[in-house]
Amino acid sequence: MASTTYNLEITGKALSELGRLGVNKENFLRIRVVAGGCSGMTYSAAIETTIEEGDEVVYQHDVFRIVADAGSLLFLDGLQVDFSNDLVQAGFRFKNTNASGSCGCGSSFSV
Judged on CB neighbours under 10 Å (0-12, 13-18, 19+), 32 is middle
Q: Which domain holds residue 34?
A: 2-99
- Evaluate whether residue 105 is within a structural domain: no
Q: What is the pLDDT of residue 39?
A: 55
The pLDDT profile of the chain, 111 residues, written as one tens digit per residue, is 444 567 889 999 999 999 999 899 899 999 998 876 555 778 888 999 999 999 999 988 888 899 999 988 888 888 889 999 888 778 888 887 766 555 444 454 445
Check which CATH number belongs to the domain holding 69 and give it: 2.60.300.12
**C-alpha to C-alpha distance for 87 and 67, rounded to whole angstroms:** 29
- Evaluate whether residue 106 is within a structural domain: no
- Evaluate whether residue 9 is within a structural domain: yes
- Evaluate whether residue 67 is within a structural domain: yes
- Evaluate whether residue 23 is within a structural domain: yes
- Evaluate whether residue 108 is within a structural domain: no
Q: What is the pLDDT of residue 63?
A: 85
Asked if residues 41 and 110 have their Cβ atoms less than 8 Å apart, the reply is yes
Question: How many structural domains compose the chain?
Answer: 1
Asked if residues 43 and 94 have their Cβ atoms less than 8 Å apart, the reply is yes
**C-alpha to C-alpha distance for 82 and 46, rounded to whole angstroms:** 15
- Evaluate whether residue 46 is within a structural domain: yes
- Evaluate whether residue 104 is within a structural domain: no
